[in-house]
């Protein structure tokens, strides 16, 4: 799925809690000491932002909508501009958050420090919805991904779902807890829960693959989603629609870092769909993108050449 000469439908990502991600390395982490780190790397991050960045790395296009403010926000926008791609920031009074990841030793171990984000006023988080609504052309696919910062109601993703219905957009949601449940109640095109989140949606602990398929089928049958892709880490993904219930294995790859794999997977799925692939082939492409991200160091996202090679392995039946 190289995408050469393939017309791509419009993808828009919405990230309500973006973050400037800093990552560094130290030989050993110990308490109460001054820990002298390597020079940090800085990247724009947050669920939908990473999805847009990964789409670009895979040879596709998307528009990223997000709230942004303060000096950190200015750096955030500058880093996005360096990478290219379209983005539509919504100005806020607060300052965009920073997250810090510290890799220890040979980078096999890492520590992630996640900040809550600035408190958004009602007019600010509503402004992100209006930012999507006011686009010159409605998205064919809208990806809403990531956590909610302070001030944003738990039903924010439900409101995004209602917006997608108004626009005629297919909504892909990747979040957790109450925001995920409320979005599902409104009905979306595709949900991408992990095993824990699937259990939250089902209201029960899920252990066997039969229970996984049954829980996902219930989401589809009740109209909460047309497609459910349950991410299972090294185990691949479970794809469920009204016609499918298939466990797709991930290819075996050398592991350097699992960070960014989930967002890369979503990027591969939505890009495949936007290029007209079936949901099965798009999910395979997403699995390949997630596996590609695992092969990259630190917080680097998927690489196009690795993704396409791994996708060919999956389509030929190799693992």
Q: Alpha-carbon distance 269 to 257, whole Å?
A: 21
In the block, tokens 């909610």 appear at 148
In the block, tokens 């079936």 appear at 278
State the catalytic residue, choosing from 155, 174, 263, 306: 263
Find how far residue 82's CA is from the centre of its chain: 21
Q: Are 142 and 132 in contact (CB under 8 A)?
A: yes
The residues, any chain, with a CB within 8 Å of residue 136's CB and separated by 6 or more, are none
263 as an active site residue: the answer is yes
Active site residues per annotation: 263
């Amino acid at each position: 799925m190289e995408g050469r000469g393939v017309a791509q439908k419009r993808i828009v990502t919405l990230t309500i809690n973006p973050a400037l991600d800093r990552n560094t390395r130290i030989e050993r982490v110990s308490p109460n000491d001054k820990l002298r780190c390597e020079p940090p790397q800085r990247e724009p991050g947050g669920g939908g932002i990473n999805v847009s960045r990964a789409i670009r790395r895979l040879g596709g296009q998307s528009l990223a909508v997000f709230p942004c403010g303060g000096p950190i926000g200015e750096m955030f926008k500058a880093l996005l501009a360096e990478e290219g791609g379209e983005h539509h920031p919504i100005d806020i009074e607060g300052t965009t958050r920073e997250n810090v990841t510290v890799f220890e030793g040979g980078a096999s171990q890492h520590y992630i420090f996640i900040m809550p984000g600035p408190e958004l006023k009602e007019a600010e988080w509503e402004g992100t919805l209006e930012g999507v609504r006011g686009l010159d052309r409605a998205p064919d696919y809208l990806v809403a991904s990531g956590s909610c910062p302070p001030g944003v109601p738990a039903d924010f993703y439900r409101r995004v779902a209602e917006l997608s219905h108004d626009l005629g957009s297919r909504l892909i949601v990747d979040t957790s807890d109450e925001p995920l449940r409320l979005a599902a109640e409104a009905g979306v095109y595709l949900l991408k829960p992990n095993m824990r989140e699937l259990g939250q949606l089902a209201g029960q602990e899920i252990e066997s693959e039969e229970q996984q398929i049954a829980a996902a089928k219930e989401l589809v049958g009740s109209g909460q989603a047309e497609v459910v892709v349950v991410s299972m880490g090294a185990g691949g993904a479970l794809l469920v629609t009204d016609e499918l219930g298939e466990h797709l294995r991930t290819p075996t790859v050398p592991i350097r870092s699992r960070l960014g794999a989930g967002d890369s997977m979503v990027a591969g799925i939505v890009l495949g769909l936007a290029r007209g692939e079936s949901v099965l082939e798009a999910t395979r492409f997403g699995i390949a993108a997630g596996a590609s991200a695992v092969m990259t160091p630190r917080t680097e996202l998927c690489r196009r050449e690795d993704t396409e090679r791994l996708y060919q392995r999956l389509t030929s039946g190799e693992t």
